[in-house]
Amino acid sequence: MGAEHLVSKLDDLDRAIIRLLQADGRRSNRDIGRLLDVAEGTIRARLKKLHEHHEFEIVVLKNPSAFGLDCFAHLQFHVTPKYAVEFADELAAFREVVFSSVMASRYNVYGVAITKSRDALDKFLETKVAPLDGLLDYRVLENVEAFRFDYHWMV
């Protein structure tokens, strides 16, 4: 990838549009055009291009606790190396898991899970994760207090 990533190809207008939408994704094209002194059609065309590769998207961010999800945990799995890639994929496919990665350490798969409670997390691990091929052991690091939790990038 190197320097070929999206952010390195953005011009000032793209960045200005992204910044406005990072603050408020509901701002209309007309509003953005007026603020930046550019035609509405230009804004529409730029946004279409930005959305093309799904690197810039309009999403609804939700606070888990407002939806009854009070348990947030880091999971470290020790998986037989032969199964690590498959394990990370299967983990990522679960609704409870928001991120997973193969790691270069003894705990060779990492995951982040969000569930209703610690009980729900333990049940999820026992019933859905434990049966996956290659799992040897795992550690659960439950969040006590979060100081930062965002996985996107600001321009």
Contact residues for another protein, defined by CB under 8 A: 1-3, 5-8, 18, 21-26, 28, 53-70, 72, 74, 76, 85, 88-89, 92, 98-105, 107, 110, 112, 114, 139-155
- Secondary structure (3-state) at 129: helix
CB–CB of 73/112 below 8 Å? yes
Query: In whole angstroms, how close is the CB of 62 to another protein at the nearest point?
Result: 5
Please name which of 76, 79, 74 lies closest in space to residue 135, comparing C-alpha atoms.
Answer: 79
CB contact at 8 A, 20 and 32: yes
Residue whose CB is less far from another protein, 12 or 154:
154
Closer CB to another protein, 77 or 135, in the complex = 77
Lookup: tokens for 70:
């009070």
Shortest separation between residue 21's beta carbon and another protein, angstroms:
3
Q: Which is nearer to another protein, 40 or 70 (CB)?
A: 70
Smallest distance, another protein to C-beta of residue 14, A: 11
Q: CA–CA separation, 120 vs 96, rounded Å?
A: 10
